[in-house]
Amino acid sequence: MTSPVPGFHRILHQHRHLNKHPRHRSSCRIPNPELLISVDVLWFYARMFLYLIGLVALLALYRWYRETKRVPNISDKYVYITGCDSGFGNLLAKRLDELGYHVIAACFTEHGEDDLKKCSSKKLTTIHVDVAKSESIQKAAAFIKSKVGEAGLWGLVNNAGVSVPAGPCDWLTIQDYKQMLDVNLMGVIEVTLSVIPLIKKSQGRIVNVASVFGRISPVGGAYCISKYAVEAFNDSLRRSLRDFGIKVLCIEPGFFKTRVCNIDIMEKNVHNLWDKLPQEVRDDYGSDYVEKAVKLMKATMAKLPDPDLMKVVSCMEHAVSAVYPRTRYSPGWDAKLFWLPLSYMPTLIADYVLGRDSVKPAKAVV
C-alpha cells in the first residue's frame, strides 16, 4: 500500500535498521516517523485551508463583478414607488431620478408630493395613492398604464408601510390589527396585482420592502405579522412569475432612523393604547409599566437605529437596476449580525435573549 506521506517507508526502514544495530544509534538520529506523519498531515490541512480561502475569495470577486452589471436603456424605463413622502421611498425616488429613470412616485400627502417635485427633474411624476383603499390603487394603475404605454412598467417598489399601533398583544383590538394589515400587507398585494400585466410587458422587477422583523417577532401587534406575510407573498410571487422573466426581490432592513423608529410616534402610540385599556388590563401590568416601557424604548432607540438610510436605498436601487439582483437584501449591521442569526437560534434561546431586558408586568408569574 502506498503511504500518503512521502518517504515514509524509507524513514521507517531506517528506523527499524537502527533498532537492530544499536551501535549506529549514537552516530545517527532518525526522527520518529509518527512525528513526521503529524507534521505532514498538518501541512496538508494547512494547504487545503489556504486553497479554500483562495476559492472563497475568487467566488466573492466573481459575485462582486457579476453584481456590478446594470441593465441598459434606463432612460426608457418606468419605476413605480409607493411611500415616497419620506424615508426610503423618498430617497429612492430621488436616486432613480438622478440615474435617468422615469419615476412614478406615490405619496400619501400633498405636502409629500410638493416637496418631492421641488428637488427632482421633470421626468419624475408624483401621484396620490392611499394603499389601504382599492379605489385609489386602481386609479393609480390606470394612470400608470396610460403613462408607460406598450413599453410596460419596468419596476415596482412596494415601500409604503406603517409601524403603529403596536404594543403587547392584549392591548390591541382586532381593528388595530386590521388597520395595519390593510396598509402593510393587503396594500402590497393589491398594488402588485394592479400592475403585474404592465410588468409582464417589460419582464421587469418587483421589489417588496419587508423587514428583519419578517424573520423574528420581538414586539406584539400586527407589524411583525404583516412583514412575515410580505415575506411569504414575496416567495410565492417570485416562483409564480419567474416563467414570465420577472424578478421578485425582497428588502429586509434592520433598524434605521425613519418614521418607523421615531421615538415621539412610538411614545404617543403607547400612551394612546394605555388610555384605552380596561382597568382590569391596566392592573395586570401595573401603574408604572408605561413609564418603564417608554424609558426602555428611549434608551434602545437612542443607540440602535442606523442614521445612514442610503444603505437601504442602495440595496433597493441595486434590486431595480442590476442585471443579476440578489433574491434578498438585509441592510444594516444589526440585521446581519444580530436579528438574522437570532432568528435561526432555537426558540428557547431567542425567547431568553428577547425577554431578559424587557419590562415585566406587575402580575407576572415568572
CA dihedral 272, 268, 169, 344 (to 10 degrees): 180
Strand 205-209 to 155-158 pairing: parallel
CA dihedral 211, 217, 218, 223 (to 10 degrees): 60
Query: Catalytic site residue 289?
Result: no
Catalytic hit among 78, 80, 223, 228: 223
Cα 193 to Cα 211: distance, rounded to the nearest angstrom: 21
Q: Is 297 exposed, middle or buried (0-12, 13-18, 19+ CB in 10 A)?
A: middle
Cα 235 to Cα 239: distance, rounded to the nearest angstrom: 6
The number of residues in the chain equals 366
Residues 6 or more apart whose CB falls under 8 angstroms from that of 169 comprise 220, 221
Cα 138 to Cα 92: distance, rounded to the nearest angstrom: 23
Nearest one of 325, 320, 326, 329 to 74, comparing CA atoms: 320
Instruction: Provide the b/e sequence for 99-132 (b: ≥16 CB within 10 Å).
Output: bebbbbbbbbeeebbebbeeebeeebbbbebbbb
For residue 194, give the 3-state DSSP assignment. helix
Cα 317 to Cα 99: distance, rounded to the nearest angstrom: 10
Whether the Cβ atoms of residue 257 and residue 305 lie closer than 8 Å to each other:
yes
Active-site amino acid positions: 223
